[in-house]
């Protein structure tokens, strides 16, 4: 009889343990769960007197909703798996949102959406952030008829910043881990604005938090997508690293965004065909730009450059193979140190040295002092004799004073550089002379004497005789 009593007691204990929650929760665990449900599973239209939207007596109901959303076992009990999911890094957008893809479908109505980065992370170079943000937006512009343009002043459609803790909205960040970023849905004023937690370790690799993947996710929200329950989707709510080489928008996200904006297809304006690889020995060759870096001459044309060195000879390369974020160059010049070059395209320019883009670039040409009507620089060259940089635009040129750091008033090319024509397509200094290209012709110019020494052909520099 005694043995039967012991056996019955053991069975009872076993049954009790088997039916118990897999995790004996502590007050701290319970608080984590309550905070999590309040932040991500609240009804945005119902607010409790204490400022929180979660009706705590319904903790079990809300927990079941969260477990169902993540594909966990729906028990309504705070078990180990549920708490582990709650502690994972994730997007800060609620899983029960006011704006959802299927109800209301908020979207941008214009064909070009502007964005501006007002505060950069200190974990990456500015040029890396610019390139990564552009790459994240391109995931969407590749599949929908919507284009994105970065601006550097004023108010953009989508304002972007990196900042820790309180950062100007009602959703302060929580330090390293859990909430990585959040974004508003499309709309006026703060619609589309996207914020990244500067306390995170932002990287471009599998280490830390990959900025490209998080940015692409948040921009999905900024364009009108809600969270997806598909674990393979970019819009799945928790952060998950995947290889970003050749990354394309997953099918679930592509179908969702195309349902909002349509499909980029044959009705869109055709993208311009890539420029052909330039031939060096073409007597009609016109340079896009030219400069000298560390004593080597660089001649730019159609997304390529020729490098001519005294010892290395002549070689041709794609510009993007050396500077990945630059696909073509309108103008170029090398600074006084003869090591740092500045490359211009449109209304932006980059500083480069030792084959790398310098931090803080690209910058707008307006930062040099150019008026807004200047859309591109035709040519540029540094003049050591006067410590000034000359910028050529159409039939005029500007002089930037290296001592005062100021851009002077524009002047007519013909008035101050007799004999070289009314425009300059490329310019560089070599052996004490200035070389100004106008079309396929090039003028060797004595800057001190203000006269043309001789007239050449551009292609003569490329070992073509």
| Highest mean pLDDT, choosing among 1-5, 50-54, 318-322 | 318-322
Above pLDDT 90, what percent of the chain?
A: 48
Backbone dihedral angles phi then psi of residue 7, each to the nearest 5 degrees: -65, -45
Whether 201 shows a pLDDT value over 90: the answer reads yes
The string of pLDDT tens digits covering residues 90-128 is 665 655 433 334 346 789 999 999 999 999 999 999 999
CATH topology of domain 24-87: Muramoyl-pentapeptide Carboxypeptidase; domain 1 (1.10.101)
Tokens found for residue 82: 């549920």
Question: What's the confidence (pLDDT) of residue 83?
Answer: 84
- Lowest-pLDDT choice from 203-207, 267-271, 341-345, 410-414: 267-271
- Residues 19-30 have a mean pLDDT of 61
Above pLDDT 70, what percent of the chain?
A: 85
- The CATH superfamily label for domain 289-462 reads Hemopexin-like domain (2.110.10.10)
Q: CB burial class (10 A; 0-12, 13-18, 19+) of residue 215?
A: buried
The string of pLDDT tens digits covering residues 266-279 is 454 445 556 778 99
Alpha carbon distance 398, 7 (integer Å): 98
Whether 11 shows a pLDDT value over 50: the answer reads no
Question: What's the confidence (pLDDT) of residue 24?
Answer: 53
**Over the Cα atoms of the chain, what is R_g?**
30
Catalytic hit among 200, 218, 388, 444: 218
Whether 19 shows a pLDDT value over 50: the answer reads no
Q: CB burial class (10 A; 0-12, 13-18, 19+) of residue 385?
A: exposed
- Residues 71-93 have a mean pLDDT of 78
Backbone dihedral angles phi then psi of residue 15, each to the nearest 5 degrees: -65, -40
Q: Domains of the chain: which residue ranges?
A: 24-87, 112-261, 289-462
Alpha carbon distance 43, 55 (integer Å): 10
Question: What's the confidence (pLDDT) of residue 14?
Answer: 44
- Residues 61-90 have a mean pLDDT of 79
Whose tokens are 């610019």? That residue is 130
- Residues 295-309 have a mean pLDDT of 93
Confidence of residue 464 (pLDDT cuts 50, 70, 90): confident
List Cβ neighbours of 463 (8 Å cut-off, separation of 6 or more).
280, 314
Q: Is 218 a catalytic residue?
A: yes
Question: What's the confidence (pLDDT) of residue 50?
Answer: 37
Domain 112-261: give its CATH architecture.
3-Layer(aba) Sandwich (3.40)
| Highest mean pLDDT, choosing among 43-57, 99-113, 417-431 | 417-431
Question: What's the confidence (pLDDT) of residue 96?
Answer: 45
Mean of all residue pLDDT scores within the chain:
83
Whether 45 shows a pLDDT value over 50: the answer reads no
166 versus 3: which is more confidently predicted?
166
Q: pTM of the entire structure?
A: 0.46
């Amino acid at each position: 009889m005694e043995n039967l009593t012991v056996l019955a007691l053991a069975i009872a204990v076993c049954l009790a343990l088997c039916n118990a929650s897999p995790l004996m929760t502590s007050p701290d665990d319970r608080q984590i769960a309550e905070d999590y449900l309040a932040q991500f599973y609240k009804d945005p239209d119902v607010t409790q007197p204490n400022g929180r939207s979660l009706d705590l007596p319904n903790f079990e109901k809300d927990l079941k909703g969260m477990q169902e959303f993540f594909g966990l076992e729906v028990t309504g009990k705070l078990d180990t798996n549920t708490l582990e999911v709650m502690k994972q890094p994730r997007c800060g957008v609620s899983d029960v949102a006011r704006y959802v893809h299927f109800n209301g479908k908020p979207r941008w109505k214009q064909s070009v959406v502007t964005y501006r980065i007002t505060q950069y992370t200190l974990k990456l170079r500015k040029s890396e952030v610019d390139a990564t943000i552009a790459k994240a937006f391109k995931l969407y512009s590749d599949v929908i008829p919507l284009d994105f343009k970065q601006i550097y002043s004023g108010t953009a459609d989508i304002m972007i910043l990196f900042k820790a803790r309180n950062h100007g909205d009602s959703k302060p960040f929580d330090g390293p881990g859990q909430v990585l970023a959040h974004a508003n849905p499309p709309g006026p004023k703060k619609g589309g604005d996207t914020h990244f937690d500067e306390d995170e370790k932002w990287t471009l690799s599998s280490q830390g938090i990959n900025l490209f993947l998080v940015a692409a996710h948040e921009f999905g929200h900024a364009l009108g997508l809600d969270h997806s329950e598909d674990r393979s989707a970019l819009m799945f709510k928790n952060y998950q690293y995947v290889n970003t080489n050749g990354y394309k928008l997953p099918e679930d996200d592509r179908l969702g965004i195309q349902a909002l904006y349509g499909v980029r297809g044959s009705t869109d304006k055709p993208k311009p065909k890539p420029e052909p690889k330039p031939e060096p020995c073409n007597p009609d060759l016109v340079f896009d730009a030219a400069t000298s870096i560390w004593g080597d001459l660089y001649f730019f044309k159609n997304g390529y450059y020729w490098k001519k060195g005294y010892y290395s000879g002549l070689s041709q390369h794609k510009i993007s193979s050396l500077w990945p974020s630059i696909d073509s160059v309108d103008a170029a010049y090398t600074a006084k140190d003869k090591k740092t070059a500045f490359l211009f395209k449109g209304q932006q320019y980059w500083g480069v040295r030792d084959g790398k883009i310098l931090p803080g670039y690209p910058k707008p040409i307006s930062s040099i002092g150019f008026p807004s009507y200047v859309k591109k620089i035709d040519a540029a060259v540094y003049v050591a004799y006067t410590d000034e940089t000359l910028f050529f635009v159409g039939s005029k040129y500007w002089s930037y004073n290296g001592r005062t750091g100021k851009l002077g008033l524009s002047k007519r090319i013909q008035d101050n550089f007799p004999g070289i024509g009314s425009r300059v397509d490329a310019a560089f200094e070599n052996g004490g002379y200035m070389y100004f290209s106008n079309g396929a012709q090039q003028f060797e110019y004595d800057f001190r004497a203000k006269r043309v020494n001789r007239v050449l052909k551009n292609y003569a520099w490329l070992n073509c005789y």
